[in-house]
Amino acid sequence: MTIAIVSDYVTVDNSAAEASITSGMLALSIGDVLTVELIADDNANFGTPTISNSGSALAWTNIATTNTNGNCKVAAWWALLADNTDRTVTLNGSAAPSGTTRRLHCNVHTGAHQTNPVPIGNVFSGVGATDVSQLITPTAAGSALHLAVGDWNATNTFAAGANCTLDAAFNDTGQMSSALVRPTTQPRTDAAAFTISETDTGGTIAWIAFEVQAAAVADAPQMGRRIYILP
């Protein structure tokens, strides 16, 4: 089954000192898989993030967490929706001081695998000086691939690599730059290996790349879908 995706992006900039960041209301239905990525420019001050949501609590699984030696933090989670209740998602940290920028990304996946939506064998993370590139062989045709990158040096030069597209790019001068990268053809039409990548002019890049696996047709949740247009 081919995945369909709806996204929401939220930023708290360096004028704010709140210890949390909350998404807008996300339109969700039974069987949707929600992935969340946090990019923050101050790992030490944000601390170890915890995730919560409005409505009944979801079971959140950490995909990966990485940081650039106390500076930029990138973390990701997934959860499976068991009802039709729309929700907001909140990332909670320690009391982040003024000067800390946070970026929250939420992706709602319809048609994802119901028991193993993010295969651990296709989760990758690390820190690099420039030009992140990761080969991923999807577990199934119809899967979605994601790459989240953060640069605490705030070079603001993220560009999509070959056959890729920037889903969301953000820069807070003097604080951080961040972006989400996806294949230009998303979801994937087959299970062939794909290199998800970005280019930049240098800095210190923290990153996470992963697959959201598509469900087999027999595994797809059987119910009517609600259709929403998000801002």
Domain that holds residue 127: 4-219
Q: Is residue 230 part of a domain?
A: no
Q: Is residue 227 part of a domain?
A: no
Peptide bond into 119 cis (omega under 30): no
Cβ(182)–Cβ(196) under 8 Å? Answer: yes
Residue whose structure tokens are 């030009």? 131
Model pLDDT for residues 2-16, shown as the tens digit of each residue? 788 888 888 776 555
Among 66, 90, 102, 99, residue whose Cα is nearest residue 209: 66
Q: Is residue 229 part of a domain?
A: no
Q: Which residue has the higher pLDDT, 46 or 104?
A: 104
Cβ(23)–Cβ(8) under 8 Å? Answer: yes
For residue 137, the model assigns a pLDDT of 98
For residue 107, the model assigns a pLDDT of 93
Q: How confident is the model at residue 219 (pLDDT cuts 50, 70, 90)?
A: low
Q: Is residue 231 part of a domain?
A: no
Q: Look at the chain and report how many structural domains it folds into.
A: 1
Among 198, 212, 193, residue whose Cα is nearest residue 160: 198
Q: Is residue 202 part of a domain?
A: yes
Model pLDDT for residues 153-212, shown as the tens digit of each residue? 889 999 999 999 998 889 888 888 999 999 999 999 999 999 999 999 988 899 999 999
Question: Which range, of 61-70, 100-109, 154-163, 219-228, averages the lowest pLDDT?
Answer: 219-228
Give the mean pLDDT of 130-153: 95
Cβ(36)–Cβ(91) under 8 Å? Answer: yes
Q: Is residue 211 part of a domain?
A: yes
Which residues make Cβ contacts (< 8 Å) with residue 158, sequence separation at least 6? Answer: 149, 151, 166, 169, 177, 178, 179, 181, 198, 199, 200
Give the mean pLDDT of 15-22: 70
For residue 1, the model assigns a pLDDT of 66
The answer, as to whether pTM is greater than 0.85, is: yes
Q: Is residue 28 part of a domain?
A: yes
Q: Is residue 142 part of a domain?
A: yes
